[in-house]
Amino acid sequence: MTATTAIGIDIGGTGIKGAVVDLATGELLTDRVKLPTPKGGRPQDIVETTRTLLSTVSKGVGDVPVGVCFPAVVKNGHTMSAANVSSKWIGLAAEALFEKGLGLPIHFVNDADAAGYAEAQFGAATGVAGVVLLTTLGTGIGSALLNDGVLVPNTELGHLQIDGHDYETRAAYSAKERDDLSWETWAARLQKYYSTLERLFSPDLFIVGGGVSKHHQNFLPLLNLKTRIIPAVHRNNAGILGAAALAARFPG
């Protein structure tokens, strides 16, 4: 029987959040629970905090799929990188570690991929044919690549080398804050970034997520691209929604 609800858990460098998701509408059926990510971001500490969060979120819910998204390249259940968490995650069999710690099967996925899938299922990319590129502008630049709604995982396009720079260090929202850039100056950097993506992928749609996307009117109109570029619908809840939807599609 196809699940109608699932639990999504989004693990970040500062917070771990989760909720029960209605898979037909993308609405949260419970309050979003958020706990601080343990200092140092060590594997066992994060698993323990996730277990505490899940015990709160899952009260009275019954047996539903559980998805977890994480700030790392995820290959065959292993975390191959680590963003804003302990380097002990690199090369770790993370999915198995979570399944043992939580006592149930999960679907484990990169956080930007989860956000992209959420937009395809419930947001700005719903029903969009062709190539959709979602980028999240935050501490770094996360990316998700979809073709006809099918996710191509672990693209990590924030790390493109442009002008000799790992370009998320120049164009992420954190770079705007760090260098105290005006919207116009930051948009010039974004122009270079999105023009490069456009040249490499010829996308049909760009979607821009991350917290700064709520100020999209200050920078998206400054970009001159052939491809339509629009803000994401789901910002803070995107990881939760995508992790839940992927868990229902690929049950552990």
Q: Cα separation of 98 and 246, whole Å?
A: 16
Q: Where in the chain is the domain with CATH 3.30.420.40?
A: 5-113+237-249, 127-231
pLDDT value for 230 = 97
pLDDT value for 188 = 98
Mean pLDDT value across the chain: 95
pLDDT at 235 over 90: no
CA dihedral 198, 244, 24, 150 (to 10 degrees): 30
pTM over 0.75: yes
Closest CA to 31 of 50, 51, 58, 52: 58
Look at the domain 5-113+237-249 and name its fold.
Nucleotidyltransferase; domain 5 (3.30.420)
Top CATH class, 127-231: alpha beta
pLDDT value for 211 = 86
Q: Cα separation of 66 and 53, whole Å?
A: 12
Q: Cα separation of 63 and 65, whole Å?
A: 7
Q: Cα separation of 177 and 224, whole Å?
A: 23
Instruction: Return the DSSP state at 32.
Output: P
